[in-house]
Amino acid sequence: MFPGKHVSATLNVISMVTAVRTTTLYAVRAQTGLVMSTILSATVAPRCPGDPLSRLFGLSCSDECTPWYDADLACQCTSDCDIYGNCCEDFQDFCVAKAISTAELSQIADSLWSLDTTRLIYGTDYTYDVQTNELNPTTNTQDQSFSPFFTSMQSSIFDLATIKSFLSLMDNFNPSLNVQEVVTYSERDEAVQFWDAIMATQVMIQSYTELNNFIEDMWYGIVNHGDVNNFPGDTNGFENHFLYEEADDLVTLQGGYSWIQLYQGEQSGALNYHSYKSQSQPGTDQNVIEVQFSRTSDGKVQPSASVLMGSSPEFDIAMAFICFKNLEKWWRMQF
């Protein structure tokens, strides 16, 4: 069984993505306890808004869950209708996700993991040395490791289609808070090439065109993370999850949940590994390590980032999307 530690880590990182994406997404009904093929075929693109007359006369949320109040409607399907007591009778059925268990998510992860032919094998493709164990990374941010985190890496893995196209995206984003992201035509082409590459893999092959477009917007759509009024559009789901960027306090970093990002950062000298807090299954191919690192240019620290070692970009995206769709409607999460 895939470690629950990874499921927890996945939920931690996807919560950051959902925090900046949920205001723009509609819901589809959650499907739980299913393997990857059923999940991807069931969670299609967000529903288009239906005819509001169905709510005027049918008192139903079956056509849409809306983020705004409409006085013309007989009942409401908004995020705060339960506060005002004017929800449609089927509001809970269509607009609030039911919790999915860790065991069910682990089952899905097992299925995805078995399909992932891009992932690395520890001891064959790569090795690492965790060195110093720091149990309080949020309070102690000193560098306590004298050597880099990675000790070996097969160079050929960077020729794999999804990893190679992933690398081309790593310099496309500005990690600074309140600095607007500018997407060039070339960068857009690189994003399309990456998306085409992962959608050709067995991990993602069973998704629909609508699903493709929906999760592309979920990951690449530029949204605001910092000052809403003065600096709109300074992040997106991809940057927030896979890379790293400045946190709201402008002192620390957040994100950096990709082993590729950590490895490339060490190789280029951009990142300095400090310590680790915990690891789920040391020396295995399903090891989640909670690491601390800093940006060498200014010393800003990411106190704690959970990284699944050796996973492919397509596995990370598929699992994050499944967690997102099964644990959230478009405005709220229930655990």
Distance CA 42, CA 27 (A): 12
Instruction: Specify whether 79 is located in the same domain as 130.
Output: no
Instruction: Specify whether 37 is located in the same domain as 88.
Output: yes
Name which of 181-185, 186-190, 246-250, 299-303 the model is least confident about. Answer: 246-250
Using the 3D structure, point to which of 82, 106, 130 is the last residue of a domain.
106
Using the 3D structure, point to which of 75, 106, 137 is the last residue of a domain.
106
Q: What is the pLDDT of residues 284-302, one digit of tens each?
A: 877 889 999 999 999 999 9
Q: Is residue 159 part of a domain?
A: yes
State the residue for tokens 């999915």.
Answer: 100
Instruction: Specify whether 52 is located in the same domain as 172.
Output: no
- Domain count across the chain: 2
Q: Where are the alpha helices (DSSP H) in the chain?
A: 4-21, 36-42, 53-58, 81-84, 91-95, 102-115, 161-167, 185-199, 209-220, 237-242, 259-268, 313-327
Instruction: Specify whether 59 is located in the same domain as 151.
Output: no
Q: What is the pLDDT of residues 37-77, one digit of tens each?
A: 333 333 333 333 334 444 444 467 776 676 677 777 778 88
Q: What is the mean pLDDT of residues 97-101?
A: 61
* 310 vs 318, higher pLDDT: 310
The neighbouring-strand residues paired with 305 are 291
Q: What is the pTM of this model?
A: 0.49
Instruction: Specify whether 131 is located in the same domain as 98.
Output: no
Instruction: Specify whether 131 is located in the same domain as 77.
Output: no
Residue-by-residue DSSP string for 136-177: -TTT------SS-SEEEE-GGGGGSHHHHHHHTTTTSS--ST
Instruction: Specify whether 93 is located in the same domain as 125.
Output: no
Using the 3D structure, point to which of 74, 106, 138 is the last residue of a domain.
106
Q: Is residue 288 part of a domain?
A: yes
Alpha-carbon Rg for the chain, nearest whole angstrom, is: 21
Distance CA 88, CA 16 (A): 30
Question: What is the DSSP-derived secondary structure letter of residue 277?
Answer: E
Buried b (16+ CB within 10 A) or exposed e, 138-156: eeebeeebeebbbeebeee
Q: Is residue 17 part of a domain?
A: yes
Distance CA 307, CA 289 (A): 5
Neighbours of 251 (CB within 10 A): 11
The residue range of the domain holding 269 is 120-181+222-310
pLDDT-derived band of residue 153, with 50, 70 and 90 as boundaries? very high
pLDDT-derived band of residue 135, with 50, 70 and 90 as boundaries? confident
Q: Is residue 270 part of a domain?
A: yes
Instruction: Specify whether 83 is located in the same domain as 150.
Output: no
pLDDT for res 323: 72
